[in-house]
A and B are shown apart, each in its own frame.
Chain A
Amino acid sequence: MIQIVDLIVKIKGAVILNNIQATFEESLVHGIVGLNGAGKTTFFNTLSCVLKPSFGRIIFKDRPISFKDIGYLESSNFFYSNITGREYINIFEQTNPDFNILALSQLTNLPLDNLIETYSSGMKKKLAMLAILKQNKPIFLFDEPFNSLDIESSKILELVIANLKDKQKTLFISSHIIETLVPICDYIHLIEKGTIKKTFCKNEFNSIEDELLGHFKQSARSIINESI
């Protein structure tokens, strides 16, 4: 169980996450959705201990969560310049005994001996994902993992997520596109104005879009009709 108690995160005085109270079941896939600026990335950064809570705590297995518990695939991937994909992967200690770099690089079509600068953004995302999969972590955070992936790679990612779930890992996945989350998530949590407004279980997934975009669509439509 991952428990979030009274979580408040402020950045430069502004409250980004506002008093989040939530409990997430382990070994399940949790989707995180929200409009731009709702606080999704801050939520992920706090879960992965990149940001420290201004107040409150995150509990995992009856102790404060640590970055050692988490494999974090960030939305934008940065790499050290002038190193090859293979060298990048080799920086990480292999704690996942099943990790097979040869098979995975062939599957993902990654030219591991080329400098990372020559990679497309989709290839960079896949490389970052391989580095994370090399490590055996109980929790995985994927922030916008489907961005810049082609159809094949998106399918591979879906299969990776299913595989991690089978291995009893807990996953948090954010996406702007709700359709990408529907087939893979057990729960989808809606973040609005820095707090988890609602949690949807599988049979409620078709009402998420209305909940998320209902009001926005109405006001956007009237602005567009008046302005164009």
Chain B
Amino acid sequence: MKLLCLRFKQCRRALNDLGVYSLVLGFLALLLITISSSLHQKSSTSFYQLIVLSVLCLIVHFYRSDKKFIYLHIKNPYLEIYLEYLVLFLPFSFSVLFTAHGYYFFIFQLLIVVISFITVSISKVNYFRLKSISRIINSSRFEYLSGIRQSFFFLIPLYSLAVTFSWFYVVPHVFLWLITVTFASFYNECEPLNVLRSNNKSPRQFLWHKIALHAKLLLPLYIPILIINTWFNRDFWFINILFLLLQLSLLIFAITLKYRSYQPNEKLYRNKIILSIVSLSAILPYLLPVPLLMSLVYFKTALKNLNHFL
């Protein structure tokens, strides 16, 4: 139970750090649990849900970097890891117990027991190297060099699908939105201080430079698809312009959020959750202005924070 106690402490700390966003996260979690419970009512959807949960568990297990340490130093490592997964997936699996196909729960438990015994890891170094990518993307956009290396196999199919369905209503927009959300996730790691200072710019100049530099990367990717979409759906031109502005505001939000909480060499785990919540606002029409408004607020706080370093 040692590991589990440690995780509880970490979660409590993360929730404290999230502040008001923890309420939104709680609401989203409740929503997901409710959806999950309703899916468990039917045997077929329940079965698929548990398959998805098993795959998720397997991905988490493959990519976690603390496995070696746990197997080496923690007593009963397999039991500890199993307990972690049991607690992590319990909110999405326990309700199946109260249905006619309650035995699925035990099959799922069996699967996560097996997963806990897998000692193979996928190391970060195995990521696709894309050596020549720096010929296309300048080193000053290091977030993209790093991010594209990590998400290459995810981004390429998404962009191909956006191109393929570019003349359809809404479909390319969903794919492009997913690409923006992926791009926004590139800003969750803080560069070392000497990299930040290498620009020799004032905080305001630095932020505008960063926004312009990254917008220049985004626009040539999105504009051709949106032009094709507008060509085939003339009545959609206004939506396409609005969509592009929304994507830019999400990007600006991600940049200002990063530098609002910038600390040299830090990984901004808290920002990941905030970013996911704000990204969802793009799906809910009445929340569309949220990224833009938050960017305006965060721009000022980012300037204030950068004043300490630049």
Having A77-B192, A128-B194, one finds 7 other A-B pairs with CB under 8 Å, namely A72-B194, A83-B149, A87-B139, A87-B145, A90-B134, A113-B131, A115-B125
Contact A78-B264, Cβ < 8 Å, known A86-B134, A87-B142 = yes
- Is B44 part of the binding interface, using a Cβ–Cβ cutoff of 8 Å? no
Residues from chain A with a CB closer than 8 A to the CB of B194 are 72, 92, 128, 131-132
A81 to B189, Cβ gap below 8 A? yes
Contact A52-B131, Cβ < 8 Å, known A82-B146, A91-B142, A131-B194 = no
- Is B74 part of the binding interface, using a Cβ–Cβ cutoff of 8 Å? no
A80 to B200, Cβ gap below 8 A? no
Q: For A50, A82, A115, which residue has the most chain B Cβ atoms within 10 angstroms? A: A82
Residues from chain B with a CB closer than 8 A to the CB of A77 are 192
Please tell me which one of the listed residues A67, A82, A90, A135 contacts residue B127 in the complex, with CB atoms under 8 A apart.
Answer: A82
- Is A226 part of the binding interface, using a Cβ–Cβ cutoff of 8 Å? no
Please tell me which one of the listed residues A50, A82, A91, A118 contacts residue B139 in the complex, with CB atoms under 8 A apart.
Answer: A91
What is the bound-complex CA distance between A208 and B310, given in angstroms? 37
A54 to nearest B CB, angstroms?
Answer: 14
- Is B191 part of the binding interface, using a Cβ–Cβ cutoff of 8 Å? yes
Tell me the chain B residues, 277-299 only, with Cβ under 8 Å from chain A.
Answer: none
Contact A67-B197, Cβ < 8 Å, known A82-B124, A117-B124 = yes
Nearest 3 interchain pairs by C-beta:
A90-B139, A78-B265, A82-B146
Contact A91-B131, Cβ < 8 Å, known A78-B264, A82-B145, A118-B125 = no
| B contact residues vs A (CB 8 Å cutoff) | 124-125, 127, 129, 131, 134, 138-140, 142-143, 145-147, 149-150, 189, 191-195, 197-198, 200, 264-265, 308-310
A81 to B124, Cβ gap below 8 A? yes
What is the bound-complex CA distance between A220 and B270, given in angstroms? 44
- Is A174 part of the binding interface, using a Cβ–Cβ cutoff of 8 Å? no
* Sample (17) of A-B pairs whose CB atoms are under 8 Å apart: A50-B193, A52-B308, A72-B194, A77-B192, A79-B192, A80-B191, A82-B146, A82-B147, A88-B142, A90-B139, A91-B140, A91-B198, A115-B125, A115-B129, A118-B125, A128-B194, A132-B194
- Is A197 part of the binding interface, using a Cβ–Cβ cutoff of 8 Å? no
Residues from chain B with a CB closer than 8 A to the CB of A117 are 124-125
Residues from chain A with a CB closer than 8 A to the CB of B198 are 91-93, 135
What is the bound-complex CA distance between A91 and B139, given in angstroms? 5
Q: For A67, A77, A91, which residue has the most chain B Cβ atoms within 10 angstroms? A: A91
What is the bound-complex CA distance between A77 and B191, given in angstroms? 11
Closest partner residue, chain B, to A90 (CB atom): B139
B264 to nearest A CB, angstroms?
Answer: 7
Closest partner residue, chain A, to B138 (CB atom): A90
Residues from chain B with a CB closer than 8 A to the CB of A79 are 192
What is the bound-complex CA distance between A222 and B146, given in angstroms? 53
- Is A68 part of the binding interface, using a Cβ–Cβ cutoff of 8 Å? yes
B146 to A81, Cβ gap below 8 A? yes
Residues from chain B with a CB closer than 8 A to the CB of A131 are 194
Q: When each residue 84-105 of chain A gets 1 if its CB lies under 8 Å from chain B and 0 otherwise, what string results?
A: 1011101111000000000000
Tell me the chain A residues, 34-92 only, with Cβ under 8 Å from chain B.
Answer: 50, 52, 67-68, 72, 77-84, 86-88, 90-92
A80 to B189, Cβ gap below 8 A? yes
A146 to nearest B CB, angstroms?
Answer: 20
B134 to A87, Cβ gap below 8 A? yes
What is the bound-complex CA distance between A93 and B139, given in angstroms? 11
Q: When each residue 111-126 of chain A gets 1 if its CB lies under 8 Å from chain B and 0 otherwise, what string results?
A: 0010101100000000
Closest partner residue, chain A, to B124 (CB atom): A117
What is the bound-complex CA distance between A93 and B197, given in angstroms? 11
Residues from chain B with a CB closer than 8 A to the CB of A118 are 125
What is the bound-complex CA distance between A117 and B65, given in angstroms? 14
What is the bound-complex CA distance between A68 and B197, given in angstroms? 8
Residues from chain B with a CB closer than 8 A to the CB of A132 are 194
A58 to nearest B CB, angstroms?
Answer: 17
Residues from chain B with a CB closer than 8 A to the CB of A88 are 139, 142
A147 to nearest B CB, angstroms?
Answer: 17
Please tell me which one of the listed residues A52, A83, A92 contacts residue B146 in the complex, with CB atoms under 8 A apart.
Answer: A83
What is the bound-complex CA distance between A86 and B142, given in angstroms? 11
A161 to nearest B CB, angstroms?
Answer: 19
Tell me the chain A residues, 116-160 only, with Cβ under 8 Å from chain B.
Answer: 117-118, 128, 131-132, 135
A115 to nearest B CB, angstroms?
Answer: 6
Residues from chain B with a CB closer than 8 A to the CB of A52 are 308
Closest partner residue, chain B, to A118 (CB atom): B125
A139 to nearest B CB, angstroms?
Answer: 14
A83 to B145, Cβ gap below 8 A? yes
B182 to nearest A CB, angstroms?
Answer: 14
Residues from chain B with a CB closer than 8 A to the CB of A91 are 139-140, 142, 195, 198
Q: For A92, A93, A131, which residue has the most chain B Cβ atoms within 10 angstroms? A: A92
